[in-house]
Amino acid sequence: MASAETAALPGRATTEQLQWLLRPLAGLLNATGLFDFAPAAGGEWLDAGRALIIVKACAGGNFLIASWLGWLWRWRTRPFGPGLALGALAAAWLTALLANAARIVLIGYGQDDLARLAGLSNADSHRLIGIGVYFGALLLQLKGTGTALAAPAIYLGITLLAPLLKAWLSGRNGIDMTHALWSAGVPLAGLLVGLLFYGAWSCCRQAASATRDGEPTSSTP
């Protein structure tokens, strides 16, 4: 049975305590007509027909925190206070809900195809979808803020630095390096590809503009 998990909520909250994230997620997915999730034991949600289960990690807690920081950064010119913090949290909750729904749709309907086409294991395909959706959502959220590095800084800070700090405080040796490499590699590779495409597009525009400027103008007698 496939699990739709990717990013765990920091802390020790139980699945029952995370229903404020999981119940709306299951409801939204059911509303699309693509799934039929029903309550299962322990607060989980099961789509028996697709053998897909929403578990605690599907709450996407790390992304919720990243999105909250992203909204605070986007609204950084406003006076900070409880209202702004709560407004950013509400916006982050909605952003996380939509991102989690998109991620589970892709997992449910595209994970196996991606694994086959890219030669990945199901676990790596699952991980790639999660990282791609979350990082892409954060990029869209921060688009137009004038700070190109804000999304990578927030994302990598939450997915890498926070777990490292938690491991250090708990006395563990470190974090899962496979997860760390995926978490850093996918966003950085995506940014590199985006920069290459943007550079090629800019060169084409400049070449086209130079060609137009160099064309002789016709004069009428």
Q: Over the stretch 42-51, which tens digit does the pLDDT of each residue have?
A: 888 999 888 8
Is residue 136 one of the residues assigned to a domain?
Answer: yes
Tell me if 60 sits within 8 A of 35, measured CB to CB: no
Q: What's the pLDDT at 165? A: 76
Beta bridge partners of 45: 39, 54
Residue 163 CA: distances (Å) to CA of 9, 169, 211: 11, 10, 53
The more confident residue out of 91 and 12 is 91
Cβ distance 8 to 60 under 8 Å? no
* Lowest-pLDDT choice from 99-108, 109-118, 200-209: 200-209
Note the pLDDT of residue 206: 78
Q: What rounded mean pLDDT belongs to the chain?
A: 83
Q: How many CA atoms lie within 13 A of 86 on its CB side?
A: 3
How many residues does this entry show for the chain?
221
Is 71 contained in some domain? yes
Q: What is the pLDDT of residues 53-108, one digit of tens each?
A: 898 888 888 899 999 999 999 999 999 999 999 999 999 999 999 999 999 999 99
CA 134-54-104 angle, to 5 degrees, is: 40
213: in domain? no
- On whether residue 150 sits in a domain, the answer given is yes
Degrees to nearest 5, angle at CA 26 with 74 and 154: 25
The domain tally of the chain equals 1
Directed axis angle between helix 61-74 and helix 82-118, to 10°? 130
**Residue 132 domain boundaries:** 2-199
- CB-CB contact of 87 with 33 (8 Å): no
Give the pLDDT of residue 23.
93
**Six-digit token string for 4:** 């739709």
Instruction: Note the maximum CA span of the chain.
Output: 87
Residue 204 lies in a domain: no
In a domain, 81, yes or no: yes
Q: Does 83 fall in a domain?
A: yes
The two tokens of residue 187 are 């966003």
Torsion of CA 102, 104, 108, 111, to 10 degrees: 80
Is residue 205 domain-resident?
A: no
- What pLDDT score was predicted for residue 221? 47
